[in-house]
Structure 1
Amino acid sequence: MSTPEPRTTATATPCAEHDSEEFRLWSVRPRQAGVMDISFTRESAMWHAEKYPHLIPVSRMPEGQWEDARPAPTGPGEYHVEWAIEVHANGPEDAARQALAKHRDPGSIACVYDVSRHDGTSRAVQVDLNTPEEVNGPLRDRPLPVDVKQLDDSALYALMAAAEEELRRRTDAALPGAVRAAVLEHLEQAGTPVPGELTSVTFSTTHYDNGEFWNESSATANFANRTHLELDLSDDGELPGMLADHSEWSELSGGELLTVQFDPPRLYVS
């Protein structure tokens, strides 16, 4: 008995509706990946794709590129949902734990999903639920695990201290990955080649009316080949808030330096 061909999935950029008459089949088998050099009608391409799960129908767009020709998923039924995130970790288990923490964090904006029909008859569409309220509901409306009105003052203060300590631990654990991602994204958007292995990033302090804070707009990225780049990371979505929280917990007086190391991930304040 032959072993059945495993179901293989692939994600292509969703295409706009168009009038192209040229359809081909995109094989997603590892050894046969690519667009087949045979033209089909729309009906024939869809029939082959439904019969052979490793084939995806694609159509030629006016600009010349091939796009997934399957319809967008709609209506009730079984769906396949993919969620992915990039993390800097010490190993597979650490990476999985970081991803789990991100997914469970009610304040996380990592809420973008690729959704398609489970049977492979639709292309994948991107669903962005990037506000925590859309995923978890307003935080003020979520039930607390304990009835704080029943706690005496000492227990309430202990709960506050424990919650702040846990938030600090999570921020410290996530900060190296967030800083590394912000640096690499900044270089990519600026079209600047990465000069080598990124080893650490250093932040100095800056003064605001309510105290001293780490200055994300003047970060120094340090590379293994002794190259140093001055970067403005203030446009990164999550990083400024994480650095502000770390600043308040560190009780800065001015003149300190924060060094974020990546291998292994560590934070140093000097």
Structure 2
Amino acid sequence: MKKLVILLLILFAFAKMQAQTHFSDLPDTLQVDLDTKYAVRWSVTFTPVVSQGSATMELFEPMFNAVSLINESEKFQLANSSLLYEQSDCTTEQLAKVDEYLHQTPLPSPYRWFLGLYNNDTIIFGIKDSTETFQADVAEASVHIEPLYGNIPVVCFRLDNGEPTEITQAFKDFTERNLLKTIATEINGLFIMAPKLNNVIEGGAIEITSMPIPLINELFLRDTEPEIKDEIITDE
């Protein structure tokens, strides 16, 4: 799916923006200071989504029942050959139906539901296998505007302190074991994205593109404080 394609985990080192930032180009609702390192208390988790090839009827049945609440067609398609579904132009009532169904429908261990909302009207949900969950605590994060992606806000954080550590190696091992799988990514229990893992990630620096601005505000402004503020250059 198009939106899933642009939701990528990208390996980069932190660097200052080379292009000038113009206040007129920034999203009106973004409340986070750009190029500022925020002290955060994030628990970031990466969990493989169940593939259709490994799923049993015990998982297919509740998944199809959930989809049928918002899509009456018998020819709907799941994403990335996984138990993952996305639908745009959803109403508040449809979201409420799916949310209620997921909460009232337990799955056999170790499987769990996840649910997210993009741009206020796009629902994405699915089933993940928690036996392979990778968890890391993140203490610092920032946001910058990336011209290469169309001047959208990009969220940056590290799983380590900038030096090779055990967690860096553990995350690399996790990506090797789950290569080509769809990975549900959550921060503090909030669903962020579910991209297909196309490459092994060998470092501790991560960038997330296309995170909804309201979610950026919530993650950065709740129980966080700016630490080091870089100068933002503007045209006079």
**Fold match by TM threshold 0.5:** no
Q: Which structure would you say has the larger Rg?
A: 1
TM (normalized to structure 1)?
A: 0.20
Higher relative contact order (CA 8 A, sep 6+): 2
